[in-house]
Amino acid sequence: MLVVEKNSLTAEIEAMVEKYGNSRSSLLPILQDVQRNHKFVSEFAQQEVARLLDIHPVEVYSVISFYSFLHSKPMGRNIVRLCQTITCDMMGKVNVAKAIERELGISFGETTKDNKFTLEYANCLGMCDQGPAMLVNDKIYPRLTPEKAVEILNEIG
């Protein structure tokens, strides 16, 4: 990582700490902001957050590893999460999953080579009455069919 990049990241995190305060309870909003801006929380960013909140880096890492929506490794620009819970499963999740895998050319847990998509399973997205459902970044898509899912991904591309 270049020094310039490091410095700008530090400045960015300092601004977040300024905004949310330097208590332990600010950890999650800060991590969410870093995640939103960079798609992951790098090792350096974790240590900077730890330094500014006066906690240990391993505590930051522990929190990141606990939450599915926080990442410590680089992710694709778009994160696709397909609901894998019972209702969606019964409504035809398997076929949707196969279609997405075929379309993107990767399996779940992987990122496309062009770094455009990361594909993951999610547990219940709360759309049990409208399954199968998937979440692309912050937007939810209910009542999927294999064709519809592929179409949605193409629109993003």
Partner 1 sequence: MENKDTQRAPVSQKPHSVDKPADTTTIGGTISIEINNEKHTVPLGTTILDACKMTGIHVPTLCHHDDLCIAGVCRVCMVEVEGMRTLQASCAFPITSPIKIHTSTPMVRKARRHVIDLMLSEHHGECYSCVRNNNCELQSLANEYGVDKYTFGHVEKSRFEIDNSSFSVIRDMDKCVLCKRCVRTCIDLQEVGVLESVDRGDKTHISTFMEKDLADVICINCGQCINRCPTGALHANDPSDDIWNAIDDPKKHVVIQTAPSPRAAIGEEFGLEAGHSMTQELNTALRRIGFNAVFDTNFTADLTIIEEGTELIIRLFKALVEKDETVALPQFTSCSPGWVKYLEHYYPEYVDNLSSAKSPQQMFGALIKTFYAEKAGIDPKDMISVAVMPCSAKKFECNRPEMADSGYQDVDYGLTTRELAKMIKEAGINLPEMPKTHFDNPFGDASGAGLIFGATGGVMEAAIRTIVEFVLGKKAEDVFEKANVIPVRGFEGVKYYEIPLGDQFGPVPALIQHLVPNWDWLAGATLKVAVAHGTANAKKIMEDIKAGGKFSECHFIEFMACPGGCLGGGGQPIPTNEEIRKKRAQAIYAEDESLELRKSHDNPHVVKLYEEYLTEGPCGHLSHKLLHTHYTKRGKYIA
Residues contributing to the site for partner 1 (CB under 8 A): 22-25, 43, 46-47, 51, 54-59, 61-62, 65-66, 72
Q: Decide whether 17 or 140 has the Cβ nearer to partner 1.
A: 17
Shortest CB 8 distance to partner 1, Å: 17
Shortest CB 24 distance to partner 1, Å: 5
Q: Decide whether 10 or 112 has the Cβ nearer to partner 1.
A: 10
Q: Decide whether 27 or 149 has the Cβ nearer to partner 1.
A: 27
Residue with tokens 């899912």: 149
Distance CA 151, CA 157 (A): 10
What's the distance, CA 37 to chain centroid? 11
Q: What is the largest CA-CA distance in the chain?
A: 51
* Four-CA torsion 123, 76, 51, 54, nearest 10 degrees: -10
